[in-house]
Amino acid sequence: MTDAELRQDDGTRRQFISWLTLAFMTTASVASLRPSPSMAIYGLAAIFLYLLPAIVFLLPTALVGAELASGWEGGIYRWVSEALGKPLGFLAVWCQFAMTIAYYPSLLAYVASTFAYVIDPSLAENGLYVAIVIVVVYWTGVWISARGTKAIAGLSSFGLIVGTLIPGVLLVALGIVFLGQGNPSAQPMSPDHWLPPWTGLASLVLIVNNFLSYAGMEMNGVHVSSLREPKREYPKSMFLATGLVLLIFILPALAIAWVMPSEQLSLTAGLMQAFQAFFDHFSIGWMTKVVGVMLVCAALGGMLTWLSGPARGLVLLSRQEGYLPPAFQRFNKAGAPVNIMVAQGVVTTLIGILYAFSDDVSSAYWMFSVITVQIYLIAYLLMFVAVVRLRRTRPSVDRGFRVPAVTWVASVGFVSSLAALAIGFVPPDQFGDQPLWRYLLIVGGGLLLLGLAIPAALLKYRKPGWIHPEHREPSAAP
């Protein structure tokens, strides 16, 4: 079904989209090749490790997000504020912003390791090289975003096709041909390997990273009102998107497992390791550099898209409610929230420098990925509570879509998010013999500082004068 415009009773024209279009939009906003090496370590069990969080987190998030978005505009701040009060609403939106502080170092570590295969593969696990790339690329991104370039959106779309779809299809195709030639899989693919080996909680820790992989599904709930029949079409759209996302996640992970033994796989450079192994096998090694550039373009496009978005949303909200000091509420002439991006960049730089002192880039990458997930999960916990409370306290609000058995669905999402947050404190098997205290200090400290302590301090010490003059009540004006 194609998009169509229908005239409404008030004479305006309303733009409708098909449920297929929404499914593809959702797939594009969630799917990525970056987490593939993390799951390829488990071989065939990657299917289980992707399916489980898809059922208990991905679908509940998408359904709950649709109901909230179709009833209240304004995103997660409005949803949580209406249900639980403005302070918790601020905590939710803060976590959406703060998770990017830990997200950028892990994303740019992946960029650094991927680009190493273009210049010198031995640099992929070199902490100093990774630190330099993180710092230089981040500040270059700030410089670009500060100029409000219109090319950012185009680069993001270009990156999806060139850096995700094409490499993903190529990787899977190479893997199928590789196996079709009679080559054995580097990791076991027999039915008795469907489940990951149980060695305690650490054997399931990699599931946590998949929660971040699926994060963002709720964002597309804002489009539920653009469907002709939301109650019937939205579930169809989400189930199709879930299937497509799973294919994009699972098949490349399996292809990597076919050619790379788990003990040799890097969490940051695993994707390029697989491409290099395939290309060397087929005697087209020069393609490694080409694919490396494509993957870097995709990652940088995604970074630029995220760089000013969450920060801008936080600044706009803070101008209305006074959550941030005035110095962090300023926009430059291009409309970019430069001051808060610079403050964010200082923290990102300090985190990036830690890579220079790390003798294991993969472990550092994993720890910052876990911090990112845990901070983001706080926002999801609040969202799941909010949808149940609003169903009870605001039942008369018109919603374009209502979650069937909402208490049960939200409870599944809440419990799974809480479990993922707790499991994140358990080091994975791949963490090796490094001291447990260091892992707990970095992960726990990152969560407490970025996710809880800073927003608590901002709420406690905020002043009426922090509200931007254009949003103050007349009696509050100086």
Q: What is the mean pLDDT of residues 233-244?
A: 81
69 found inside a domain: yes
Over range 190-212, report the average pLDDT. Answer: 67
pLDDT at 54: 86
Whether 286 is in a domain gets the answer: yes
* Long-range contacts (CB closer than 8 Å, 24 or more residues apart) made by 177-181: 177/282, 178/258, 178/259, 178/278, 178/281, 179/258
Give residue-wise pLDDT tens across range 69-85: 888 877 788 899 999 99
Is residue 396 over pLDDT 80?
Answer: yes
Residue 10 forms part of a structural domain: no
Please tell me which residue, 351 or 29, carries the higher pLDDT value.
Answer: 351
Question: Is the per-residue pLDDT at 182 higher than 80?
Answer: yes
476 domain-assigned? no
Per-residue confidence (pLDDT) for residue 254, from 0 to 100:
92
* Residues ≥6 apart with Cβ < 8 Å to 191: none
Residues 137-144, mean pLDDT to the nearest whole number: 87
Domain count, the chain: 1
Going by pLDDT thresholds of 50, 70 and 90, the confidence category of residue 177 is very high
Residue-number span of the structural domain to which 151 is assigned: 39-395+402-463
Whether the pLDDT of residue 173 is over 50: the answer is yes
Q: Give residue 355's pLDDT.
A: 78
Confidence of residue 5 (pLDDT cuts 50, 70, 90): very low
The per-residue pLDDT for 431 is 60
Of 87-91, 162-166, 303-307, 471-475, where does mean pLDDT reach its minimum?
471-475
Confirm if 77 and 61 have CB atoms less than 8 A apart.
Answer: no
pLDDT band for position 388 (50/70/90)?
Answer: very high
269, 125 contact by CB (below 8 A): yes
Instruction: Compute the distance between CA of residue 289 and CA of residue 115 in angstroms, rounded to an integer.
Output: 8
pLDDT digits (tens, 9 = 90+) for 42-56: 888 888 888 888 888
Domain-located, residue 281 = yes
CATH assignment at residue 117:
1.20.1740.10
Q: pLDDT tens digit string along 411-455?
A: 999 999 998 888 888 876 656 566 778 888 888 888 898 889 999
- Residue 205 has what pLDDT? 62
pTM comes to 0.80
Mean pLDDT of 227-232: 78
Model pLDDT, residue 206: 59
Q: Rounded distance, CA 377 to CA 414, Å? A: 9
Report the C-alpha gap between 172 and 175 in whole angstroms.
Answer: 5
Query: 266 to each of 37, 137, 193, 209, 393, how far by Cα in Å?
Result: 7, 21, 21, 15, 49
Residue 14 lies inside a defined structural domain of this protein = no
> Looking at residues 234-255, what average pLDDT do you find?
86
Per-residue 3-state assignment (H helix, E strand, C coil) for the chain? CCCEEEECCCCCEEEECCHHHHHHHHHHHHCCCCCHHHHHCCHHHHHHHHHHHHHHHHHHHHHHHHHHHHHCCCHHHHHHHHHHCHHHHHHHHHHHHHHHHHHHHHHHHHHHHHHHHHHCHHHHHCHHHHHHHHHHHHHHHHHHHCCCCCHHHHHHHHHHHHHHHHHHHHHHHHHHHHHHCCCCCCCCCCHHHCCCCCCCHHHHCCHHHHHHHHCCHHHHHHHHHHCCCHHHHHHHHHHHHHHHHHHHHHHHHHHHHHHCCHHHCCCCCHHHHHHHHHHHHCCCCCHHHHHHHHHHHHHHHHHHHHHHHHHHHHHHHHHHHCCCCHHHCCCCCCCCCHHHHHHHHHHHHHHHHHHHCCCCHHHHHHHHHHHHHHHHHHHHHHHHHHHHHHHHHCCCCCCCCCCCCHHHHHHHHHHHHHHHHHHCCCCCHHHCCCCHHHHHHHHHHHHHHHHHHHHHHHHHHCCHHHCCHHHCCHHHCC
> In this model, does residue 376 exceed pLDDT 50?
yes
Q: What does the alpha-carbon distance between residue 221 and residue 233 come to, in Å, rounded to a whole number?
A: 12
> Bridge-partner residues for 4, per DSSP?
16
pLDDT at 2: 42
pLDDT in tens, 254-305: 999 999 988 888 877 888 989 999 999 999 989 999 998 888 877 777 777 6
| Residue-level pLDDT at 105 | 83
pLDDT over 80 at 97, yes or no: yes
Which of 195-199, 399-403, 407-411, 446-450 is predicted least confidently?
A: 195-199
The answer to whether residue 297 is domain-embedded is yes
Say if 96 falls within a structural domain.
yes
Q: Percentage of residues in the chain with pLDDT exceeding 90?
A: 20
The reported pLDDT for the residue numbered 458 is: 92
Confidence of residue 14 (pLDDT cuts 50, 70, 90): low
